């Protein structure tokens, strides 16, 4: 019985998420958005357990499509990107909104939530309900704000505010804090995150458009502070609303947001557990099980960030005789890498715990076999076999929102004619 | 890790698998049951109350005596808060429409006319309040035989306060009745509502 359960739980997956999505990434990355959209429909149908016709007909919005079932959520995010790329911001908006609500429902604010999920000890991380990387929590709100601006939904300001609110919630959350006998693990990965300023900037843009200069100035000031004063776009925006850079009467403003390059995704590698990971796993094991026996010798399967486009050149935008060059406001390659590195001790700790739990189960099975067969050799063979199977079949969790761009860049042009062509 | 620990954890896994298969259910909510209070955002209850209170106060303040029925054109509800109106927007517009018509004092310009006029003029709702924009908008509506006396505009804002494991949010709706011909504000009312959320 124990062997049967163990085998079922160990055979959790032979290929990783990222390897299963190569064709989707290729289609989307080569701007073949209709093909990518069709591929995403198939993935959603497969993950949500519904017919592909239902997904296609409802553009992924039918209520029978449960975002929290398997990896549906990730493909709904992809669907939002393919709809946005195909000039359907209204559908993208609804898909992102649904995805955001699902991400909110799974958001882990503290370590208690992390300890609870140790129920996934016997499988691997890719079997857990997808919680979303912390930067994805922000990116879904960025996409909501930009989609709403394009669709004219009237909620762009709210989404822009939500970027900042969620960011502070994430950074201020005590996730990682684990104490044993009053001794703090000292591990707070989210404190290492850098803040993104795009939400504050978008708030400023919307308030400036409504001629509310004071509010716009406050928002631009926040954006400039968050960016460390390094952004020309934020600096000139602040100077403009403070009256230092006059705008001519009759001029209109054109903002171009450029999703530049193919975004990062996750691959799998093997890495030796760090001291921090071993310490965390020991604390977690003590809190959950009252036992700290860990097996920490072999390299662990862990995700790492794969970069498609490391350098995305700026875009030159011209209209009505005015020329501007985009500035990078978000570098997703760096953000994904920094956040994954910050969380790596906990990712490794989970694998360590899982491996140790499996080893314990293998020992149980070995002893049971030994008693049943009255043979020491048979018991040892069962233990070794199960140990080998569990290690060999373990995968890193490589799930991520793979259709995000590598960078989000922007440029602002002041134009006299509203109907001029844009190149 | 001990044998006992291994068995304990596997039991947790089994429980999760068994509890995962609960089917979704639905039921009809009777009219006398209270509206569900949103656990993460304002929701229907907050919007219903704010609109009902604000708009009725506004219409009461601005109604004249013995005058003929005036026509109101509801232009937009500007969202300056931290929560999107999203798919609630259509229901909110319907509620506003119903309250205006039920007042018995005012008639409301159909939303279809308003949206068609905005499309035709290429104006954003806030541009109607500038002289030139208002003229264009009124001209298009007038061409359809619709001449509003007032333009109605709403603004939704909120203030947030974070406490330990709690967030309090105050929602405020302001509605403004603007004379369509002069551009002067003739009546303005606000309502507030506070809500507490656990983090």
**Per-residue model confidence as pLDDT tens digits over B112-152:** 899 899 989 888 888 888 888 888 999 999 988 888 999 99
What is the average per-residue pLDDT within B170-198? 91
Residue B168 resides in a domain: yes
Residue B128 resides in a domain: yes
- Cβ-based contacts of A285 with chain B (< 8 Å): 1
This complex has an ipTM of 0.76
List phi, psi (to 5°) of A56: -65, -45
Residue B26 resides in a domain: no
Query: Which band of pLDDT confidence, cut at 50, 70 and 90, is reported for residue B160?
Result: confident
Quick one: pLDDT at residue A370? 67
Tens of pLDDT, residue by residue over B85-97, are 988 888 999 999 9
Query: Which band of pLDDT confidence, cut at 50, 70 and 90, is reported for residue B18?
Result: very low
Quick one: pLDDT at residue A54? 97
Q: How many domains does chain B have?
A: 1
Residue B80 resides in a domain: yes
Quick one: pLDDT at residue A235? 95
The answer to whether the beta carbons of residues A171 and A193 sit under 8 Å apart is yes
CA distance A97 to A89: 12
CA distance A151 to A145: 10
Q: Do A289 and B80 touch (CB under 8 A)?
A: no
- Cβ-based contacts of A155 with chain B (< 8 Å): 79, 84-86
Q: Give the nearest chain B residue to A107 (CA atoms).
A: B199
Q: What is the pLDDT along chain A (423 residues), one digit of tens a residue?
A: 444 444 444 444 457 888 899 999 999 999 999 999 999 999 999 999 999 999 999 999 999 999 999 999 999 999 999 999 999 999 999 999 999 999 998 887 666 666 666 655 555 666 667 888 999 999 999 999 999 999 988 999 999 999 999 999 999 887 766 666 656 667 788 888 999 999 999 999 999 988 889 999 999 999 999 999 889 999 999 999 988 776 676 777 889 999 999 999 999 999 988 888 887 777 776 666 555 556 656 788 999 999 999 999 999 998 878 899 999 999 999 999 999 999 998 888 888 887 777 766 666 666 676 677 766 666 666 656 666 666 666 788 999 999 999 999 999 988 876 666 777
CA distance A247 to A161: 26
Q: Check if A178 contacts B (Cβ < 8 Å).
A: no
The answer to whether the beta carbons of residues A146 and A257 sit under 8 Å apart is yes
Q: Per-residue DSSP letters for A309-352?
A: -S--PPPEEEETTEEEE-EEEEEHHHHHHHHHHHHHHHHHHHHH
Quick one: pLDDT at residue A56? 97
Instruction: At A154, list the tokens.
Output: 């009237």
Quick one: pLDDT at residue B166? 81
Q: Check if B20 contacts A (Cβ < 8 Å).
A: no
Number of other residues whose CB lies within 10 A of the CB of residue A9: 21
Look up the CATH number of the domain holding residue B137. Answer: 3.40.50.10610
Cα dihedral A371, A377, A383, A389 in deg (nearest 10): -140
| Enclosing domain of residue B111 | 40-198
Quick one: pLDDT at residue A7? 41
Residue B31 resides in a domain: no
Q: Map residue A415 onto helix, strand or coil.
A: strand
List phi, psi (to 5°) of A256: -115, 120
Quote the longest CA-to-CA distance of chain B: 88
Residue B33 resides in a domain: no
Q: Do A161 and B85 touch (CB under 8 A)?
A: no
Percent composition of chain A: helix, strand, coil (DSSP 3-state, to 5): 55, 15, 30
Query: Which band of pLDDT confidence, cut at 50, 70 and 90, is reported for residue B6?
Result: very low
pLDDT at B43 over 90: no
Q: Check if B35 contacts A (Cβ < 8 Å).
A: no
Residue B5 resides in a domain: no
- Cβ-based contacts of B3 with chain A (< 8 Å): 360, 363-364, 367
Residue B1 resides in a domain: no
């Amino acid at each position: 019985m124990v062997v049967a359960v163990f085998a079922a739980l160990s055979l959790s997956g032979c290929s990783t998420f990222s390897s299963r999505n190569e064709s989707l990434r290729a289609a989307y990355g080569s701007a073949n958005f209709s093909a990518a959209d069709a591929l995403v429909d198939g993935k959603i149908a497969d993950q949500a357990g519904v017919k592909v016709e239902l997904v296609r007909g409802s553009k992924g919005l039918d209520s029978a499509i449960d975002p929290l079932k398997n990896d549906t959520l990730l493909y709904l995010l992809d669907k939002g990107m393919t709809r946005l790329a195909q000039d359907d911001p209204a559908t993208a908006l609804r898909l992102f909104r649904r995805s955001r609500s699902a991400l909110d429902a799974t958001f882990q604010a503290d370590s208690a939530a992390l300890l609870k999920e140790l129920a996934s000890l016997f499988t691997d991380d890719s079997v857990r309900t997808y919680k979303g990387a912390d930067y994805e929590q922000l990116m879904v709100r960025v996409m909501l704000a930009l989609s709403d601006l394009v669709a004219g939904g009237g909620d762009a300001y709210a989404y822009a505010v939500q970027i900042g609110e969620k960011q502070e919630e994430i950074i201020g959350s005590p996730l990682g804090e684990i104490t044993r006998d009053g001794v703090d693990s000292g591990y707070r990965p989210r404190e290492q995150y850098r803040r993104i300023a795009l939400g504050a900037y978008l708030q400023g843009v919307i308030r400036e458009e409504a001629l509310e200069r004071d509010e716009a100035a406050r928002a631009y000031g926040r954006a400039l502070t968050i960016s460390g004063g390094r952004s020309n776009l934020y600096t000139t925006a602040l100077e403009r609303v403070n009256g230092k850079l006059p705008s001519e009467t009759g001029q209109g403003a054109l903002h171009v947001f450029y999703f530049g390059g193919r975004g990062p995704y996750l691959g799998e590698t093997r890495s030796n557990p760090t001291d921090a990971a071993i310490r965390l796993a020991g604390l977690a094991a003590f809190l959950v099980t009252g036992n700290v026996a860990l097996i920490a010798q072999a390299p662990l399967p862990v995700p790492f960030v794969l970069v498609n486009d490391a350098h995305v050149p700026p875009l030159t935008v011209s209209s009505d005789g005015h020329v501007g060059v985009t500035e990078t406001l978000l570098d997703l390659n760096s953000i994904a890498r920094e956040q994954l590195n910050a969380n790596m001790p906990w990712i490794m700790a989970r694998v360590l715990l899982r491996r140790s739990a499996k080893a314990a189960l293998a020992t149980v099975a070995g002893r049971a076999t030994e008693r049943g067969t009255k043979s020491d050799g048979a018991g040892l063979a069962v233990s070794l076999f199960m140990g080998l199977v569990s290690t060999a079949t373990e995968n890193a969790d490589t799930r991520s929102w793979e259709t995000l761009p590598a960078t989000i860049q922007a440029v602002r042009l002041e134009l006299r004619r509203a109907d001029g062509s844009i190149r | 890790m001990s044998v006992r620990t291994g068995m304990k954890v596997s039991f947790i896994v089994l429980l999760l698998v068994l509890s995962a298969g609960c089917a979704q259910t639905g039921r009809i909510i009777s009219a006398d049951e209270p509206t569900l209070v949103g656990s993460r955002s304002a929701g229907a209850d907050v919007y219903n109350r704010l609109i009902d209170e604000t708009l009725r106060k506004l219409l009461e303040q601005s109604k004249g005596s013995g005058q003929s029925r005036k026509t109101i054109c509801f232009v937009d509800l500007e969202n300056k808060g931290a929560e999107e109106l999203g798919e609630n927007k259509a229901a909110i517009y319907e509620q506003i429409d119903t309250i205006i018509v039920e007042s018995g004092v005012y008639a409301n310009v159909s939303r279809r006319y308003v949206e068609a006029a905005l499309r035709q003029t290429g104006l954003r709702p806030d541009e109607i309040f500038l002289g030139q924009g208002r003229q264009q908008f009124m001209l298009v509506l007038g061409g359809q035989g619709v001449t509003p006396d007032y333009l109605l505009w709403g603004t939704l804002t909120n203030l947030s306060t974070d406490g330990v494991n709690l967030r309090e949010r105050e929602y405020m709706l302001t509605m403004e009745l603007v004379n369509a011909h002069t551009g002067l504000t003739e009546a303005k009312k606000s309502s507030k509502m506070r809500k507490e959320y656990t983090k």
